[in-house]
Amino acid sequence: MTAVEVGMQIDLDNLPALSLGCTVFAGGGGGDPRIGELMAMEAIHRLGPVEVLPLEALDDDDLIMPCGMIGAPTVMVEKIPNGAEGRVIREAYEGRFGRHVAAVMPFEMGGINGVLPVAWAAYAGLPLLDADFMGRAFPELQMLTPHLYGMSGSPAVITDERLQTIVFNTRDNIWLERLVRNCVATLGGSACGGLYPMTAGAARRPAITGTVTRAIRMGEAIRRGGEDPLSAIGQVAPLTRLGQGKVVDIERRTSGGFVRGSALVEGLAADKGRLFRLEFQNENLVVLEDGEPLATVPDIITLLDLHTGHGIVTEGIRYGQRIEIVAFPSPEVWTSPEGLSAVGPRAFGYDFDYVAVGVRHG
């Protein structure tokens, strides 16, 4: 789905829907979008709605600015951004490339990063592109689609609330991830950044299009869905229901700068007697039953609140929650051999191959 309604805007009415949609497509990662939503609300309140543009509306040599926050979303709940970070990143790129940025783009369409760029677009008076480079949320900087096409994340610009800027020109994207991650820790655990700057022409191959409007439609469907949010969700994106249950155990540990852990979910209603095991590294990675995978990355695995249909971030999983475990098909680009080597189950240390959830449960 790439069609954008003509004149589509993000305003105070549909912003909450965008935010809600971002909880569903995050696959458990990316943090609670709430702070991004409040920032965007404030920016739109002051400066008016943000125009949403399809990638086709830009000329080949228009410069786009993929951006978002990097680090711990739980830090941003305290240390809220200044608001000028987007401008600082933009000025760094405009100085570097000697031309104006034509549009802002979320590099990650899930969690807080699906909403934060809306605030920066509003402050800059720039349109927001209806596309991103993940089609969901992922934890690392080489897990963006341009990496699969051999494109460089550099020059990357990182800035903090003090509006200090650091520009990275790295040997490859693995070094970029390593250096940026350390830098973000020094800056206090969360920072804002621009990555993989490129022209609209160069973005046509890696961009996953239509993801901003899809998230808005998803949020609107859930809000309209009332008593039956799941069927509302299924009408916006192909949804596989893996099981309904209650969280009966949750365990988290920190390793290598990430939160890894698992949740046990005891089946309810039609799934009574079943036991599901969800494993995550910031994002949800796999759902297992009797040791066998029911779904794996890069398919988008999300825990939905049974009553509201809201997506639950991995930090927010609690004992006793009643949830529905669902999966959405991965953006196609991640299911190629190159894609799977970057973000497939083996990339996260599992000893099994990816089987599309639609095929497995078809």
Partner 1 sequence: MAERGRLRVGIDVGGTNTDAVIIDDQAKLLAKVKHPTTSDVTTGILSALRLVLAQLDGAAAGISHVMLGTTHATNAILERRNLNRVAAIRLGGPATHSVPPLAAWPADLRAAVSCGATIVDGGVEMTGEPIVPLDEDAVRRFLDEVAEQAEGVAISGVFSPVLSDQEYRVEELVREVLGDVPVSLSHEIGSLGLLERENACVLNAALVAVAARVTAGLGDAMTVNGISAEAYIAQNDGTLMSLDYVRRYPILTIGSGPTNSMRGASYLTGATDALVVDVGGTSTDIGILTAGFPRESSTAVEIGGVRTNFRMPDLVSLAIGGGTIVGPAGDDVQLGPGSVGYRLTSEALVFGGTVPTLTDAIVAAGRAHGIGDPSRTAAHERLLRRAVAASDARIEEGVDRVKTSGRELPLIAVGGGSGLIPDSLAGVAGVERPENYDVANAIGAAIASVSGELDRVFAYGKDGRDEAIAEAVRLARDEAIRAGADPGHVEVVEIEEVPLAYLTDPVARVRVKAAGPLKTH
Residues that bind partner 1 (CB under 8 A): 31, 35, 38-39, 41-43, 70-75, 77-84, 119, 139, 161-163, 181-182, 184-185, 188-190, 246, 252-254, 256-259, 268-269, 272, 282, 307, 314-316, 318, 320-322
Least distance in angstroms from the C-beta of 144 to partner 1: 16
Least distance in angstroms from the C-beta of 203 to partner 1: 26
Nearer residue to partner 1 within complex by CB, 83 or 201: 83
Nearer residue to partner 1 within complex by CB, 204 or 246: 246
Least distance in angstroms from the C-beta of 98 to partner 1: 28
Does an H or E element contain 218, and which?
Answer: helix 211-225
Nearer residue to partner 1 within complex by CB, 71 or 194: 71
Nearer residue to partner 1 within complex by CB, 254 or 292: 254
For strands 128-129 and 258-267, give the pairing: unpaired
Least distance in angstroms from the C-beta of 26 to partner 1: 12
Residue 124: which residues within 8 A CB-CB, separation 6 or more?
Answer: 86, 87, 90, 101, 104
**SS3 for 30?**
coil
Nearer residue to partner 1 within complex by CB, 236 or 347: 347
CA 123, CA 107: separation in Å to the nearest integer?
18
CA 208, CA 138: separation in Å to the nearest integer?
14
Nearer residue to partner 1 within complex by CB, 184 or 239: 184
Least distance in angstroms from the C-beta of 160 to partner 1: 8
For tokens 């509006």, the residue is 163
Q: What is the 3-state secondary structure (H, E, C) of 165-209?
A: EEEECCCCHHHHHHHHHHHHHHCCCEEEEECCCEEHHHHCCCCEE
Least distance in angstroms from the C-beta of 56 to partner 1: 31
Nearer residue to partner 1 within complex by CB, 105 or 184: 184
Distance in angstroms between the alpha carbons of the first and the last residue of the chain: 21
Retrieve residue 8's tokens: 């589509």
Least distance in angstroms from the C-beta of 362 to partner 1: 29
Residues making up the chain, counted from first to last: 362
Nearer residue to partner 1 within complex by CB, 63 or 187: 187
Least distance in angstroms from the C-beta of 99 to partner 1: 27
Angle at 149 (CA atoms; ends 148, 151), nearest 5 degrees: 105
CA 204, CA 207: separation in Å to the nearest integer?
6
Nearer residue to partner 1 within complex by CB, 188 or 234: 188
For strands 101-106 and 63-71, give the pairing: parallel
CA 163, CA 87: separation in Å to the nearest integer?
10
Nearer residue to partner 1 within complex by CB, 190 or 330: 190
Helices and strands in the chain: count of H runs, count of E runs: 12, 19
Least distance in angstroms from the C-beta of 12 to partner 1: 12
Least distance in angstroms from the C-beta of 81 to partner 1: 5
Buried-exposed string 41-63: b where 16+ CB fall within 10 A, e elsewhere? bebbeeeebbbbbbbebbeeebb
